[in-house]
């Protein structure tokens, strides 16, 4: 039964995908005498934690109950007070946690505090599922850099565009909808200036039910983004950040700032220093980045070892052409034994397209 109730807590936590950053996704379920008496999940940073929501839902019935929570309860004061003290005060008898909090401010201290207060504690129930749910938060809180996913789409013969550069559309409507679902849960969408100059994209989330726009980041070492580009002119609750280098002409940078862009200087040049950029994004409490670049941007992130996960669409189309670009440029490897490999792979189908998702082996 512990796993069954924990699975429900995970489902509750997932309801807030893309809304709690920089906090984790957390769900909680209170059970007494075989009946669920309280449920809750963390809705966004600054709002009550899942445990508090579940305790409020249960009211006085929480005494003697078991609390199932997807992440170790906090024992420190941040945007809200410590959940451990609320759990003890409510008279909860037993706490089952899926995983320890990777935050150094907690990391076992919350469970220790509960044990000291006489609460029975079990941990590690559905831990792998809980870690996958919070992969953004775990990467961010332990490395102070965002979780990076590379998304690309190619034809059956490995092309992202034709020899003339036409790329609309490689994949079908269902695949493109899924991409917008991804944008809805990532903090940042990142492209290179080449994409802006060629396609003038909006880089927003466009779902029938609405959605949340990610922060737009443009890799633009010399500040070539037009001041009238769509990413700077549309109405959106998210900012547009232009990552330039010290080599960018001052007049270009000034024009972009005047147009409303936030400017980040990332290295002296000639290219944007990606490590510096990711650290700067983390300082802004942005925990996840969806890279939707072309072959050069993709190659740069992969070569630097900065990609955690890939989402790779394959459309049943044959483009052909020796000069038609592929999804990853750069110099490439010399030996097949040096190829980057994926693990924990899943394959999904969107109409006629296939989508392979996996994690880079380290």
Q: Which tokens go with 254?
A: 């000034």
- Four-CA torsion 136, 140, 146, 149, nearest 10 degrees: -30
Q: Is the peptide bond preceding residue 41 cis, with omega within 30 degrees of 0? A: no
Angle between helices 2-14 and 50-58 (to 10 degrees): 110
Q: Which tokens go with 206?
A: 């466009």
Burial state string for 272-302 with b = 16 or more CB within 10 A and e = fewer than 16 = bbbeebbebbbebebbbbbbbbbbbbbbbbb
Known active-site residue 128: no
Distance (Å, whole) CA 361 – CA 340:
7
Quick check: helix, strand or coil at residue 346?
strand
Distance (Å, whole) CA 185 – CA 227:
28
Catalytic one of 11, 51, 129, 285: 51
**Radius of gyration in angstroms for the set of CA atoms belonging to the chain, rounded to a whole number:** 23
The string of DSSP codes covering 250-318 is: HHHHHHHHHTTPEEEE-SSSSS--HHHHHHHHHHTT--EEEE---HHHHHHHHHTT---EEEEEEES--
Q: What is the DSSP letter of 120?
A: E
Question: What positions carry a catalytic annotation?
Answer: 51
């Amino acid at each position: 039964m512990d796993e069954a109730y924990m699975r429900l807590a995970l489902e509750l936590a997932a309801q807030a995908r893309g809304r709690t950053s920089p906090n984790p996704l957390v769900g909680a379920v209170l059970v007494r005498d075989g009946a669920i008496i309280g449920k809750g999940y963390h809705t966004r940073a600054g709002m009550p934690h899942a445990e508090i929501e579940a305790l409020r839902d249960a009211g006085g019935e929480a005494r003697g109950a078991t609390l199932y929570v997807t992440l170790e309860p906090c024992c420190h004061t941040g945007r809200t007070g410590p959940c451990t003290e609320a759990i003890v005060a409510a008279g909860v008898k037993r706490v089952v946690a899926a995983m320890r909090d990777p935050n150094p401010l907690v990391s076992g201290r919350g469970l220790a505090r509960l044990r000291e207060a006489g609460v029975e504690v079990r941990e590690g129930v559905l831990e792998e599922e809980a870690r996958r749910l919070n992969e953004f938060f775990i990467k961010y809180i332990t490395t102070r850099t965002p979780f990076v996913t590379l998304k690309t789409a190619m034809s059956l013969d490995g092309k992202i565009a034709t020899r003339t550069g036409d790329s609309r559309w490689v994949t079908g409507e269902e695949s493109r909808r899924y991409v917008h679902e991804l944008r809805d849960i990532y903090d940042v969408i990142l492209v290179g200036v080449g994409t802006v100059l060629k396609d003038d994209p909006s880089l927003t989330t466009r779902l029938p039910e609405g959605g949340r726009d990610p922060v737009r980041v443009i890799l633009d070492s010399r500040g070539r983004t037009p001041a009238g580009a769509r990413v700077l002119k549309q109405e959106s609750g998210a900012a547009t950040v232009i990552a330039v280098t010290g080599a960018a002409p001052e007049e270009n940078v000034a024009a972009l700032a005047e147009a409303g862009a936030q400017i980040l200087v990332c290295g002296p040049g000639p290219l944007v220093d990606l490590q510096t950029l990711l650290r700067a994004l983390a300082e802004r409490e942005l925990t996840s980045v969806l890279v939707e670049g072309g072959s050069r941007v993709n190659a740069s992130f992969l070569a630097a070892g900065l990609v955690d996960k890939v989402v790779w669409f394959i459309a049943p189309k044959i483009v052909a052409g020796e000069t038609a670009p592929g999804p990853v440029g750069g110099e490439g490897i010399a030996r097949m034994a040096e190829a980057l490999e994926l693990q924990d792979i899943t394959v999904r189908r969107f109409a006629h397209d296939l989508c392979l998702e996996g994690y880079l082996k380290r």
